[in-house]
RNA sequence: GGAGAGUUGGCUGAGUGGUUAAAAGCAGCAGACUGUAAAUCUGCCGGGCUACGCCCUACGGAGGUUCGAACCCUCCACUCUCCA
């Protein structure tokens, strides 16, 4: 899932995002991420609802998953106070006071009209003690139950998308049975629970059990890639993923590098989101079939070849490395556009290949080949 | 013709006796980026070494004062401004 925090995959128009490649339909994202925290502060949920929800707002007919704001409250480190009811915090934009709780977060996500909402969780910092993480995890569990209870049973009135009906599958009937996703109409969002527990395996196990027992549409592993060593992250993923329900999507939040995705899939993960492809694109770090490269390097100054000969995106099929370097070095806006188009394409292409490999029962060898290619020195 | 200001490392530009191989910015060369306060941040950036230290060359040129000069003095060269 490309990340589009403020209802925008940075550097790209919605149309550009839909047309990353003139040739390949694979290179076209089916879902993007939005962020409750950022959108509630600006432009505000009232406005978004009034304007028909995020889909209509950004002219995006495909799926949207919204982060609940829990992670931002943790990572922005502005003045905040976590209590049982929710979190008091100050806007990083103007310092104004705000409050997020399971109820308010779900309300906002529903009114934004997203397809998948995330439970409101607390993301503990790396380095906290077992006792501290346990306390935080238990709060996340209580908040998970409240998030689920806060989900509207009737679909939001203002959210009608012209070509919708592509929401998440698995319409597990709930009490009341009114949360039915009607064809052509965006219903209430699906809701994913989030597993926490820091780097402690016993806590992760308990968290998986608690979250899996609730009536979520999918389960996410949260609280990772927050500064812990990579090995520690994968110890948690390798341990937790197999414990997750087999009949629900599994989402590893905030991860990661191309290698991380492949390793995550190996562990049993279905979904990922990460700012890496888009942010790195804007800082000149590009992913290719032969490993990562920095387009500003002098060695690309006269390189007339395509960025990645194996890629069919707009960037790789129309301009040279030399031109991309020139744009970057000159600070041209087009550099961010071309680079973002490519990096997202690379990630989408990678996941497409992963799906094919799984379908043809050859994922293990695919993984081995891919990891060796990526670690090879870029020419 | 007269009066004044200036010449600093690739560029712009601080510095006016020692802590100056010389601020800062730019350019250049690398690196980082993992549920996006990021078109951002970090490092290197005269040369050479048997490098956590030493040597050489450097603030227009030449000479001088001084224990010590980019900084003070003399002459020369060049640039700019103003007045006739």
* Tens-place pLDDT, residues A242-280: 999 999 999 999 999 999 999 999 999 999 999 999 999
Listed as ranges, the nucleotides of chain B within 7 A of a protein C-beta are: 27-41
The reply to whether A124 has its C-beta less than 7 Å from any atom of strand B is no
Assess whether A205 (CB) lies less than 7 A from strand B.
no
Alpha-helical regions (H) of chain A = 14-18, 36-41, 45-50, 53-58, 70-75, 102-112, 130-150, 201-212, 230-240, 258-267, 276-282, 314-318, 321-329, 333-359, 363-375
pLDDT, one tens digit per residue, over A54-89 is 999 999 999 999 999 999 987 875 667 899 999 999
Strand B lies under 7 A from the Cβ of residue A75: yes
Nearest nucleotide by C1' from A299 CA?
A: B29
The answer to whether A216 and A250 are in contact (CB under 8 A) is: no
Residues 6+ apart with CB under 8 A from A82: A73, A122, A139
Q: How many angstroms is C1' of B31 away from CA of A294?
A: 10
Which 316-335 residues of chain A approach strand B with CB closer than 7 Å? Answer: 329, 331, 333
Nucleotide showing the shortest C1' distance to residue A335 CA: B39
d(CA A86, CA A103): 9
Mind telling me the catalytic residues of A? 67, 273
- Average per-residue pLDDT in chain A? 90
Q: Compute the average pLDDT of residues A108-117.
A: 96
ipTM reported for the complex, 2 dp: 0.88
> Is the minimum distance from the CB of A86 to strand B below 7 Å?
no
CA dist A14 and A18 (Å) reads 6
What is the structure's pLDDT at A161?
39
The arithmetic mean of pLDDT across residues A189-195, rounded, is: 97
- Tell if A3 CB is < 7 Å from nucleic strand B: yes
The reply to whether A379 has its C-beta less than 7 Å from any atom of strand B is no
Give the pLDDT of residue A79.
65
pLDDT tens-place string over residues A149-186: 999 875 444 333 333 343 443 334 343 333 333 433 44
Q: What is the mean pLDDT of residues A306-319?
A: 97
Q: Which residue is nearest to nucleotide B36 (CA to C1')?
A: A275
Say whether pLDDT at A9 is over 90: yes
pLDDT average, residue stretch A211-235: 95
What is the pLDDT averaged over residues A88-117? 94
């Amino acid at each position: 899932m490309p990340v589009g925090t403020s209802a925008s995959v940075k550097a790209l128009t919605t149309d550009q995002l839909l047309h990353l490649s003139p040739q390949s339909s694979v290179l076209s994202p089916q879902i993007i991420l939005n962020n409750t925290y950022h959108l509630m502060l600006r432009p505000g949920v009232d406005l978004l609802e009034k304007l028909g929800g995020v889909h209509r707002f950004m002219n995006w007919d495909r799926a949207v998953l919204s982060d609940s704001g829990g992670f931002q409250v943790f990572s922005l480190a502005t003045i905040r106070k976590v209590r049982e009811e929710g979190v008091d915090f100050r806007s990083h934009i103007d310092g104004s006071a705000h409050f997020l709780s399971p109820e308010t977060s779900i309300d906002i996500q529903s009114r934004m009209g997203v397809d998948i909402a995330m439970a409101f969780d607390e993301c503990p910092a790396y380095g906290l003690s077992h006792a501290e993480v346990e306390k935080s995890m238990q709060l996340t569990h209580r908040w998970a139950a409240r998030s689920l209870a806060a989900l509207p049973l009737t679909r939001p009135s203002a959210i009608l998308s012209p070509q919708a009906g592509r929401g998440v599958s698995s319409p597990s009937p709930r009490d009341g049975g009114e949360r039915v996703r009607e064809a052509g109409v965006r219903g209430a969002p699906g809701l994913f629970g989030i597993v926490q527990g820091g780097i402690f395996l016993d806590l992760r196990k308990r968290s998986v059990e608690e979250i899996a027992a609730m009536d979520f549409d999918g389960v996410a592993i949260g609280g990772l890639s927050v500064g812990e060593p990579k090995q520690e992250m994968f110890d948690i993923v390798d341990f937790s993923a197999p414990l997750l329900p087999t009949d629900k999507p599994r989402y590893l939040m905030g991860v990661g590098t191309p290698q991380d995705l492949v390793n995550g899939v190996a562990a049993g993960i279905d979904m990922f989101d990460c700012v890496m492809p888009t942010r790195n694109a804007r800082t000149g770090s590009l992913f290719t079939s032969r490993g990562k490269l920095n387009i500003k390097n002098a060695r690309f100054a006269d390189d007339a070849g395509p960025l990645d000969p194996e890629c069919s995106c707009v960037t790789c099929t129309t301009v040279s490395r030399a031109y991309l370097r020139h744009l970057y070095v000159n600070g041209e806006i087009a550099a961010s556009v071309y680079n973002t188009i490519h990096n997202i394409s690379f990630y989408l292409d990678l996941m497409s290949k992963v799906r094919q490999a799984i379908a043809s029962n050859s994922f293990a060898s695919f993984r081995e080949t891919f990891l060796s290619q990526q670690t090879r020195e870029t020419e």
